[in-house]
Chain A
Amino acid sequence: MARDLAPLVDTLAEIVGPRHVRTALPERVTYAKDGLPTHRRVPGVVVLPGSRDEVIAVVRLLGALGMPFVPRGAGTGLSGGALADGDAVLIVLTRLNRILKIDARNRLAVVEPGVVNVRLSVAAAPHGLQYTPDPSSQTACTIGGNVAENAGGPHCLKYGVTATHVLALEVALADGRVVELGSPGGEPWGPDLVGLFVGSEGNFGVATRITVRLLPVARAVRTLLADFTSLRTAGEAVSAVIASGIVPAALEMMDQSCIQAVEDSVYAAGYPRDAAAVLLAELDGAHEAAVAADAETIQAVLRAHGARSVLVAADAQQREKLWLGRKKAFGAMGRLSRDLVVQDAVVPRSTLPDVLETIARIAAEYGLTVSNVFHAGDGNLHPNISFDGRTPGLRERVEAASAEIMATCIAAGGTITGEHGIGLDKLRYMPLLFDGDSLAAMRAVRHVWDPEERVNPGKVVPVHACREWSGLRMGRAPNPGAQSAIRNPQSAIDRKATAR
């Protein structure tokens, strides 16, 4: 911790209690990474508020001091989004884990941001309801993090990603003002501000209270596992399924190397180890007969498009096993090698077979192991590169291969993230996709929420690539009084108060 931060720490401790301010190096080091551990930043101070009011008080204090800060949920993000530098405060929201309300009649829930995704579905289950967006990380990640990343999940193919399910938000802005966005009954008028906030990657403020839609748990479900002897055929089958006109609840693909990792783990699901790829498809709905008929159709389509066999889950237990294997696949990759980076890109579905082949070729050229596990129905790819970071020069090779994979996806008409966000990791790809004016426009939108760029600074928009950047850099004076304020935080608050 920088010495300058000491007085700030005392004031933070007054707000949240001394036990919930972390300043020692070993403690801060545990917050240096998220789910993509190739990025590492040790935060200056870590603070764990225990209530909405404490969050707001902390944000207000930091606003008064002009200090940068970063909100963090469970730290399962896959783009380095929840990392803070040594001059910034990390606000960890895991203690805000209360489900404030489940309104079964109106099918909505109000939660604090640190509620773990799956816990909401568990709490809603007695009402026959669920929180539908189901990122594979759902047993760990927070709903606040889901909102910030606009998280997707296997079942978002049919039901839509997080944005579709958020009705209203309470947000603490950079300076500690609290605003309400949206309404439980739906957006009342004008622009969709909730939609604007969802996916903002912690750049627009801290979500302190979240109202989400709950949906009924499907009454009829069929889960199919189709296996293929070539990756290309599996890719082609994806388009065929979608072309059938039936929208599966989920359509996921895993390749052979991913199958091996899962089958070696405690989550072994019974995927055929000799398959080049498997597709996991789920059909659901309210009527048994209709879902059964859809499942028949999809089975036939899969067979006609090269599936070696199609297995239908016999019961709920087998279905759960098939899904657990899929959802824990990323976590199982540690079995392949010591280090792992996962990429996230979306390509037009029709290009899947070609793109998968190109990725395999790039992997071979760079001598790397790439495993694929992804939301095939959306064309949302997740190539995972396994490597041993201790081998000299290998990290650079992995970076180069990643860049080439990204370029391939963009060339195929795709984009550089489907659900993991830009964070730190994808900053360098932004200029490949957007010109300076577009990036400047994004930045201007951010300034509406956070004019000083203090919330999660340095993420998402690569500042140097913005058209107006050079001008801004020269024009922007360092925040006056920030230095003295750090030494005497209380005086800064007083000054702000009198200024108002």
Chain B
Amino acid sequence: MTDRGGFAALDPCVHCGFCLQACPTFLATGDEADSPRGRIELMRAIEAGELAPDDPALALHLDRCLGCRGCEPVCPSGVGYGRGLAAARALITSRRGVPPLARAALAALTGAGVSRVVYALTRALRATGIPRWLAGWGRVRFAMGMLAATRPAKGGGGRRRLGEVGGGASRSNLPPPPPTSPVLLFRGCVMEGLFSHVHDATIRTLEVNGYAVREVPDQVCCGALHEHAGLESDARRLARLNVAAFGDGDEPIVVNSAGCGAMLKEYGHLLHPDAGGFASRVKDVTELLAARGPRPGAPVDATVAYDPPCHLLHAQRIAEPPETVLRAIPVLRLVKTPDAAQCCGSAGLFTLIEPAMSRAVLAPKLETLAEARPQVVATGNPGCLMQLGAGLAAAGIPAVARHPVELLDESYAAAGYYA
């Protein structure tokens, strides 16, 4: 067999069109070139050498793909769209390089030295409260909204905040903690730089449920953003470093960012046989929590819309566990919006690089959220938290975006688990 890489995953496509209505970019433009089926045609054409990978009219439509993989679970033939896309993007990047904006964003967010400075500066800016004031539409104001959305909720780690009903379970009547099992925390770059409070909540809630969270030194960025940009060899290099850092034990590797989780689970394909074992250890935090119940916390009186990240729902096919986690919070009302399963338009660097399409994809979601009137939109991915947070602020919808474990953490704090 000649190695056709990810392109072979496109072979089962029979051009039936069942994926069209699942694709947010097709819904936004109605253009076949912005649909999964049309993009598969383009990818097949570049593999066959019929079209040049750096033809701007071709690259435009592959660049405009969110990589959300909403097209995969609806495909009766099981087309591996995501794998094909990775192969196509690698080919495009090998010809035209990475566009300057994407390269700058990559360095700022994931570069070992640079990003530390960038995150420190952005945190300082965030602390001023200015981004929250500036949040709105337009490129800069939206970015400010995204930054504002990363702010930990008032009150700081593990303390009571959101509509608590008060009282709640007291420590004495709680069942004894189940046996302690070790898990390794994957920290990532954006999560570590801007959402360290979610890491804290992850550690606390896991511990309540009997997991002992261990830190792993020398771990690096998962490489997802590199792969999206077509930098396959960079992604592979990072993957090797992570595989080495996490060792070959059998402890689960816990991830609270859907995008990183999806990438880590792909290491088997990226590195071929040597990383299959690693990939099977990777677990989303909600998977681990749901496996233990999770233990119920104190009531939180809030209406929450769960918005599954594409890289959790479509790429990892994890649907139930986040809802199970939220249902462990008494009184909390979980509402469902009809288009929850559709991408919010964040898609890694997409929101920065393709702002017009990104906002067009976000718009219908904001409309249904405005109608559903939740107080919190829960989603387990840094990009989605920022995109939804910024969108809610810009549209003037009085709701905040939070990670599901943050909500559980609050409920546990109120229950006195951390006292």
Contact = CB atoms under 8 A, between A and B. Distances in A.
Contact of B76 (A24, A48, A94, A328): A328
Contacts of B29: 48
B14 A37 contact: yes
A422 interface: no
Given A35-B17, A266-B76, A338 B11 contact: yes
Given A24-B57, A35-B17, A331 B76 contact: yes
Contacts of A331: 14, 16, 18, 75-77
A330 interface: yes
B61 A265 contact: no
B65 interface: no
B17 A22 contact: no
Contacts of B196: none
Contacts of B73: 266
Contacts of B32: 30-31, 75, 92
B76 A140 contact: no
B318 to A, nearest CB: 15
Contacts of B58: 24, 26
A336 B58 CA distance: 30
Contacts of B16: 35, 76, 137, 140, 330-331, 334
Contacts of A266: 73-76, 78
Interface in B10-64: 11-18, 20-21, 29-33, 35, 37-39, 41-42, 45, 51, 55, 57-58, 61
Interface residues of B, number: 34
A330 B35 CA distance: 19
Nearest to B41: A30
B57 A334 contact: no
Contacts of A48: 29-31
A340 B12 CA distance: 10
Contact of B17 (A74, A264, A267, A339): A74
B206 interface: no
B76 A35 contact: no
A120 to B, nearest CB: 13
Q: From DSSP, what is the main secondary structure of chain B's interface residues?
A: loop
Contacts of B79: 334
Contacts of B20: 74, 140
B12 A335 contact: yes
Interface in A23-59: 24-27, 29-37, 48
Contacts of B38: 30-31
Nearest to B79: A334
User: Among B11, B33, B45, B76, which residue has the most Cβ atoms of chain A within 10 A?
Assistant: B76
B17 A30 contact: no
Contact of B21 (A26, A139, A329, A330): A139
Contact of B14 (A24, A92, A333): A333
A140 B39 CA distance: 17
Contacts of A265: 76-78
Contacts of A33: 15, 41
Contacts of B51: 25-26, 29
Contacts of B30: 48, 92, 94-95, 97, 114
A416 interface: no
B13 A334 contact: yes
Nearest to A338: B11
A95 B34 CA distance: 13
24 contacts: A27-B33, A27-B61, A29-B41, A29-B42, A30-B32, A32-B41, A34-B15, A48-B30, A74-B20, A94-B31, A95-B30, A116-B21, A139-B18, A265-B77, A266-B73, A267-B76, A329-B76, A330-B76, A331-B75, A331-B77, A332-B76, A332-B77, A334-B77, A338-B12
Interface of B: 11-18, 20-21, 29-33, 35, 37-39, 41-42, 45, 51, 55, 57-58, 61, 73-79
Given A30-B41, A266-B74, 14 more contacts: A22-B33, A25-B51, A26-B51, A30-B42, A37-B14, A48-B29, A76-B17, A92-B31, A92-B32, A116-B21, A139-B18, A266-B78, A330-B76, A331-B75
